[in-house]
Structure 1
Amino acid sequence: MIRLLVPVFILFSFFVRVEKPTLYLIGDSTVKAGQGNGGNGMWGWGSVIDLIFDTGKINVENHAIGGRSSRTFLTDGRWEPLLEKMNDADYLIIQFGHNDDWALNDTIRARGTIDGIGEEFEEIDNLITHKHEVVHSYGWYLRKYVNEAKAKGVEVFICSPIPFNRYGEDGLIPRKPDFYPVWARQVAEQTGAHFINLHEMTAKVYDKLGYEIVKKAYFTNKDDVHTNRQGAQLNAEHVVKGVEETDSSLKNFLKP
């Protein structure tokens, strides 16, 4: 009987495969523009970052979607199915903020969040969904993503949102003392998530080059918001640099 069990065990072990961990990305069109295939020349950094990771060892899933804020990614029902899939071998990178700076309630998008990272809220009857909704702060939504993912053992990173090709009177990318890049950092500190200062790393490059060169090299003709493939690659490299500066095991999955 024992002699029969040994070959069966060996055969079973041969067919069992260890599941690879997954790196999940959530965010807006600056992470995934359109279908993520360069339509209209627009690329988000999440659509090219898999080229920097060893996808033989880790899966990269880009679940970002254009037009979403930290609020509407949740209220659209996109977060819960992802959370259900996650386990303690996985990683999550979050980048929201661009679409949070919008009206809380209107007939166009109704996607805004309350400024800051506080616990204040506002009740609305959503003019688009026609549902009663409690709207929270930008920080509240980020905390929800981080805390719920961490509760499943997922290692979480928050990116400050990438800068647009827009400059202040001093010829530099504006750094506001009380805005989304700052709030993203504060939530990372609150929750113990890793912080990647993507906004600052990319802004430093733009500062040196100026509007015209940056426009030609990194952005589409469509606007000063959406990057071309080269711009997406620049931001992806900065995200990876941010990962490398942490003590996260995610850097073990980068290509040499």
Structure 2
Amino acid sequence: MFKKYSAGTCIAAMVLFFALSSFICYKWERPVLYIIGDSTVKNGSGKGADALWGWGSIIGRYFDSSKIDVQNHAIGGRSSRTFITDGRWDAILKNLKKGDYVVMQFGHNDSSPLDDTARARGTIKGIGDESREIYNPIRKVNETVYTYGYYMRKFVNEAKAKGAIPIICSPVPRNNFKDGKVQRGNQDYGLWAKEIAEQTGALFIDLNRRIADEYDRMGADAVGKFFPKDHTHPNLEGSTLNAEMVVAGIKALKGCRLAADLK
């Protein structure tokens, strides 16, 4: 004989069945670590042309690919402004989801002219609300140009709106030594990057200071071997050191789960 069950018991059993089915069928999606920046983050195609590299092309090897997908969207020649006006940030936003990370490093190209005929990529210095109306000879449009801080805030705030975790890096130092010490960015873009992080609540890696400390320890002659072409773009060895400093910075971040995805 069959045992009779009440309607309530049957409904409860069905709810449990569908709940378990949904759980079993759920496909876990890895978070994505999006990296945005300039040529010191990704040089050229990111494959070492002319012996030059960026740290974003190397850092993926330090992460467990079964836990996180590392995507380097940095591109040479861009500033915080032109990474946006090129449409590159909007392309990332379309796919950005809760739990993803955005690591950003800009500043090297932001000091360029605002409206020159070569690249027209500069931003107004500082983190204030200043703006300037220009004619952009590259894009052939009128454009309102804002401060470095304005564009960095845009990255942070829009990433947060998607539920992603923004991490600001101060720009890597150049190979500029004076009196035995490398020149730091703690009076301009390195400082402004930190101030924007404090202002917006973004996580911050003082990459400029971390690398500069290593450069000072190594000395000008040893550091010079990292720069085969100019004083800005490092080779594989130099970019590997930079990537390791980013990793060290990630490990030092308080309350950030990204470190758990490292190998």
TM-score normalised by length of structure 1: 0.92
Partner AA of 2:191 in structure 1: V
Is contact 2:79-2:110 (8 Å) kept?
yes
Task: Say which of 155, 162, 172 aligns to 1:145.
Answer: 155
Matching residue of 2:82 = 72
Task: Say which of 99, 102, 107 aligns to 1:92.
Answer: 102
Q: Distance in 1 between matches of 2:182 and 2:193?
A: 18
Matching residue of 2:145 = 135
Change (3 A) 1:176 1:18: closer
Partner AA of 2:229 in structure 1: K
Task: Say which of 17, 29, 39 aligns to 2:39.
Answer: 29
Is contact 2:35-2:103 (8 Å) kept?
yes
Matching residue of 1:252 = 260
Q: Distance in 2 between matches of 1:11 and 1:252?
A: 29
Deviation digits for residues 41-89 of structure 1 (CA, Å, limit 9, x no counterpart)? 1110000101111011100000000000000000011101101111111
Task: Say which of 230, 234, 237 aligns to 1:230.
Answer: 237
Task: Say which of 246, 249, 252 aligns to 1:242.
Answer: 249
Deviation digits for residues 219-247 of structure 1 (CA, Å, limit 9, x no counterpart)? 2x211211111111111111111111112
Matching residue of 2:181 = 172
Deviation digits for residues 25-50 of structure 1 (CA, Å, limit 9, x no counterpart)? 00001000111111111110000101
Matching residue of 2:55 = 45
How far 1:7 sits from its partner (Å)?
10
CA RMSD of superposed structures (Å) = 2.1
Is contact 2:47-2:53 (8 Å) kept?
yes
Runs of 4+ in 1 over 4 A off after TM superposition: 6-16
Partner AA of 1:192 in structure 2: G
TM-score normalised by length of structure 2: 0.90
Partner AA of 2:62 in structure 1: I
Q: Distance in 2 between matches of 1:36 and 1:62?
A: 9
**Unaligned residue ranges in structure 2 (runs of 5+):** 1-10
**Unaligned residue ranges in structure 1 (runs of 5+):** none
Say which SS state the counterpart of residue 251 (structure 1) adopts. helix
Task: Say which of 165, 177, 194 aligns to 1:185.
Answer: 194
Kindly indicate whether residue 195 of structure 2 is the aligned counterpart of residue 199 of structure 1. no
Q: Distance in 1 between matches of 2:20 and 2:195?
A: 51
Matching residue of 2:7 = none
